[in-house]
Amino acid sequence: MISFALDVEDLADTRFAVSPLQETVFSLRVLHSPGLFALHLPWRRSVLGRLGALDTGLLMSLVARRLTLPDFLTPRPAGFAPAFEEELAQVRGTPPDLVRRDLLATHAPDPLPEALRDAAAQDDASAVRLRDTVCELLRGYWEIAVRPWWPQIRLVVEADMTYRARQLAMGGTRLLFADMHPNLRWHDGVLYIDKMISRHHAAASGRGLLLLPSVFAHKPAPPVSPQAPPSLVYPSRGVGTLWASAPTTGTRDLVSLIGAPRTKLLTLLEEPLPTVELARRLRVTPSAVSQHLRVLHATGLVTRARHGRQVLYRRSPLGDQLTGDAPQR
């Protein structure tokens, strides 16, 4: 078990962030152990045929047998949504002693894979060489495997943040963590993370807590090192529809009447959904969705209601009739 003690100031400094580098590094585990990531198999199949001459062997050696990853590859984001290159520059500045420490801690008690052994020796040049080589591989891997899907991934994690912010507003810290994952438990100012390989207790001591929703995380993942500032990668909501195709349009007559984009929206709105989730599923911008929703609402095809900080949209009875989903009498 790993636990973080958070006082009032730490709770006040708790924040969310989006990290493209983190998602890139965490996605390596899907390639490494596909049996644990069934939802991502469509993504994995599409990526494997595109990696080509990229040295995936070295990248795979970074993932330990127990799926832990070196902390230095996922530095704490300084802002809300840093660029990939900005984060990679942080990794390039990692001192060689931290590279060695994190590699050994990640794979312990197992020996390091052969590809990483030279870097573990007391030779700064070897550690720096490995660090820089890994950075170049991650840049190439990001371009092929993650960047093409980054807009959809970012919409998923930002939708999760919106939901968490509503939970915090409605029920405080306890509700924030209540349904984040079964392995998380909040009690008396301490966040407990169960079923961890490591065993340590860390006091935030004014550093706050950083929360990072991830589409590639299958369970909560705090830093391996107890010296690292408190942060928590956790599985994002909404991953189940991430790799699904956009919904097909409705009948030809309905498309002719209101257009394909609005037909797709009506098809989705059999359940209440916010703008950001609709945008994610349709793989368009929230502003584009908002324009269509205004028209659909003005013509009585959708209804809307405020829920916390979000506005939820749903098909009206008239919208049900147009899509052929009117209740049978």
* Sequence-separated (6 or more) residues with CB below 8 Å from residue 329: none
pLDDT digits (tens, 9 = 90+) for 188-241: 999 999 988 888 999 999 999 999 999 999 999 999 988 888 999 999 998 877
Rg of the chain over all Cα atoms, to the nearest angstrom: 22
* 186 DSSP 8-state letter: E
* Domains identified in the chain, total number: 2
Tokens at residue 42, please?
């469509």
State the average pLDDT for the chain. Answer: 90
Whether residues 212 and 259 fall in one domain = no
Boundary (domain end) residue, out of 239, 270, 289: 239
Let me know the angle formed at the C-alpha of 216 by 215 and 219, rounded to the nearest 5 degrees. 95
Tokens at residue 1, please?
């078990």
SS3 223: coil
Whether residues 103 and 220 fall in one domain = yes
Average the pLDDT over 170-176 and give the result: 90
Boundary (domain end) residue, out of 204, 239, 274: 239
Boundary (domain end) residue, out of 208, 239, 270: 239
**247, part of any domain:** no
Beta bridge partners of 273: 313
pLDDT digits (tens, 9 = 90+) for 141-150: 999 999 999 9
**244, part of any domain:** no
Model's pTM, two decimal places?
Answer: 0.76
Whether residues 112 and 162 fall in one domain = yes
* Residue-range definition of the domain harbouring residue 298: 252-323
Q: Are 16 and 164 in contact (CB under 8 A)?
A: yes
Does residue 322 have a pLDDT over 80? Answer: yes
Buried b (16+ CB within 10 A) or exposed e, 291-325: ebbeebeeeebbbbeeeeebebbbbbeebbebbee
Whether residues 55 and 188 fall in one domain = yes
pLDDT digits (tens, 9 = 90+) for 99-140: 999 999 999 999 999 999 988 887 899 999 999 999 999 999
Q: Are 163 and 170 in contact (CB under 8 A)?
A: no
The sign one gets for the Cα dihedral 12, 8, 76, 155 is negative
Whether residues 213 and 260 fall in one domain = no
Tokens at residue 296, please?
């659909």
Name the E strands within the chain: 2-5, 15-16, 184-187, 190-193, 200-203, 210-214, 231-235, 273-274, 302-307, 310-315
